[in-house]
């Protein structure tokens, strides 16, 4: 499945040598053999918080939660998958290095509320109701990983991953439900004058109607991958994805790098651009992935390429560091968005809706 590339040092440990040893040993172990459990972890606490929010809203259904390879709700199945790394501190360190960050409690709750929306939709088969389709659109609409968005639209709520509600009617409902469920959020005022308010009012009516009802059918066994079935190593989980920014000529962006940075002769004392990129690596990747809704693996492939070429060109940081960081991030965002919308990248769907995986 490929190799795991070298990464910037973990910010979570004071002894890099000890961490590299622990990291190497952990990467070589099969996930299914790690004995991971939600019991006693912050995931258990967050799930309890989700259930408390449902109780406050007088919703009786409690979607079962299990550890999986990513955030998600298997299509048509009222279950919530939570990334396995969130129940172990060392795995969180690895995830933070590989994916440019780790979810804090607030972000994890946003994902949980979103996936809960999917689970309730599936549990009660709300998508079969004519009024659901009239409000959110046809559930049968093709589900595509890449989708066009309108940043100026007021027909959708904003909750996670930029404009994620615009991806599919199923995601629109899940995002709307998540906003509705969020404690202490005055969604009527927040979305006053927006067409999206009608969707929130629909969810409000629907949840009052469901109230203490139990799902028509109990949760069924999911085809999604539970942690016990992950008979592959942590390294294989993070192995290089086939999704990359396709660069036919390695010199493709040399001119752009020379424009963003400065030559060694003009700034002999300036920081080398390759070290600058490494120092801000997580911030750059996470921001680009967030605003483009692109997977971190695709963004990393671009940033890794830029770092290699910056090293070959020996370009330096010549001016204000903040301005350079902004320009580099803006450039990377433009490149990723261009490839995203021109369909020059291809991705195989994993069949899991709501998999708004952390960045």
Of the segments 17-31, 298-312, 345-359, which one has the largest average pLDDT value? 298-312
352, 70 Cβ separation under 8 angstroms: yes
Q: What angle do CA 330, 336, 337 make, to 5 degrees?
A: 85
Q: In the prediction, which pLDDT does 293 show?
A: 76
Residue 24, pLDDT above cutoff 60: yes
Of the segments 3-17, 221-235, 323-337, which one has the largest average pLDDT value? 323-337
- What is the average pLDDT score of the chain? 85
Of the segments 18-22, 102-106, 145-149, 341-345, which one has the largest average pLDDT value? 102-106
Q: In the prediction, which pLDDT does 4 show?
A: 38
Dihedral, 271, 280, 7, 16 alpha carbons, nearest 10:
80
Q: In the prediction, which pLDDT does 344 show?
A: 41
Other C-beta atoms closer than 10 Å to the C-beta of 21 total 11
- Three-class SS of the chain: CCCCCCCCCCCCCCCHHHHHHHHHHHHCCEHHHCCCCCCCCHHHHHHHHHHHHHHHCCCCCCCCEEEECCCEEECCCCCEEEEHHHHCHHHHHHHHHHHCCCCCHHHHHHHHHHHHHHHHHHHCCHHHCHHHHHHHCCCCCCCCCCCCCCCCCCCCCCCCCCCHHHCCHHHHHHHHHHHHHCCCCCHHHHCCCCCHHHHHHHHHHHHHHHCCCCCCCCCCCCCCCEHHHCCCEHHHHCCCCCCCCCCCCCCCCHHHHHHHCECCCCCCCCCEHHHHHHHCHHHHHHHHHHHHCCCHHHHHHHHHHHHHHHHHHCCECCCCHHHHHHHHHHHHHHHHHHHHHCCCCCCCCCCEECCCCCC
Query: Across residues 112-129, what is the average pLDDT?
Result: 96
- At 27-86, the pLDDT tens digits run 999 999 999 999 999 999 999 999 999 999 999 999 999 999 989 988 888 999 999 999
Q: In the prediction, which pLDDT does 74 show?
A: 85
pLDDT band at 346 (very low <50, low <70, confident <90, very high): very low
Residue 356, pLDDT above cutoff 70: no
In 3D space, the residue among 150, 113, 103 whose CA is nearest the CA of residue 354 turns out to be 113
Q: In the prediction, which pLDDT does 182 show?
A: 97
- At 224-255, the pLDDT tens digits run 678 888 999 999 888 755 577 888 889 999 99
pLDDT band at 219 (very low <50, low <70, confident <90, very high): low
Domain boundaries, the chain: 16-229, 247-341
- At 321-331, the pLDDT tens digits run 999 999 999 99
pLDDT band at 8 (very low <50, low <70, confident <90, very high): very low
Residue 2, pLDDT above cutoff 60: no
Neighbour-count burial for 69-79, b at 16+ CB within 10 Å, e otherwise: bbbbbbbbbbb
Task: Specify the higher pLDDT residue, 312 or 13.
Answer: 312
Q: In the prediction, which pLDDT does 177 show?
A: 98
- At 282-296, the pLDDT tens digits run 889 888 988 887 877
Query: Across residues 173-177, what is the average pLDDT?
Result: 98
334, 253 Cβ separation under 8 angstroms: no
Dihedral, 28, 33, 35, 37 alpha carbons, nearest 10:
90
- At 294-320, the pLDDT tens digits run 877 788 889 999 999 999 999 999 878
Q: Tokens standing for 228?
A: 């016990």
């Amino acid at each position: 499945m490929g190799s795991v590339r070298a990464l910037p040092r973990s910010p979570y440990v004071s002894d890099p040598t000890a961490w590299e040893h622990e990291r190497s040993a952990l990467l070589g172990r099969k996930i299914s053999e790690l004995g991971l459990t939600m019991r006693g972890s912050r995931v258990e606490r967050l799930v309890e918080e989700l259930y408390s929010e449902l109780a406050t809203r007088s919703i009786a259904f409690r979607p079962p939660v299990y550890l999986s390879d990513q955030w998600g709700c298997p299509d048509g199945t009222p279950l919530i998958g939570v990334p396995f790394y969130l129940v172990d501190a060392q795995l969180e360190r690895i995830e933070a290095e590989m994916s440019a960050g780790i979810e804090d409690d607030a972000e994890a709750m946003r994902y949980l509320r979103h996936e809960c929306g999917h689970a309730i939709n599936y549990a009660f088969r709300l998508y079969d109701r004519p009024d659901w389709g009239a409000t959110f659109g046809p559930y049968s609409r093709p589900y595509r990983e890449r989708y066009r968005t309108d940043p100026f639209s007021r027909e959708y709520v904003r909750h996670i991953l930029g404009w994620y509600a615009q991806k599919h009617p199923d995601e629109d409902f899940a995002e709307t439900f998540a906003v509705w469920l969020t404690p202490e959020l005055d969604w009527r005022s927040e979305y006053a004058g927006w067409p999206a308010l009608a969707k929130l009012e629909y969810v409000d009516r629907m949840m009052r109607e469901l109230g203490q009802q139990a799902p028509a059918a109990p949760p069924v066994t999911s085809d999604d991958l539970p942690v016990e079935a992950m008979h592959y190593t942590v390294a294989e989980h993070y192995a290089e994805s086939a999704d990359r920014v396709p660069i036919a000529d390695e010199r493709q962006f040399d001119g752009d790098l020379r424009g963003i940075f400065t030559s060694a002769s003009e700034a002999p004392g300036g920081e080398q651009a390759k070290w600058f990129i490494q120092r801000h690596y997580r911030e750059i990747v996470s921001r680009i992935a967030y605003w483009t809704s692109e997977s971190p693996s695709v963004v990393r492939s671009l940033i890794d390429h830029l770092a290699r070429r910056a090293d070959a060109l020996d370009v330096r940081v010549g001016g204000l560091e903040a301005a350079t960081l902004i320009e580099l991030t803006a450039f990377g965002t433009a490149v990723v968005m261009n490839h995203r919308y021109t369909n020059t990248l291809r991705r195989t769907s994993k069949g899991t809706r709501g998999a708004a995986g952390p960045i």
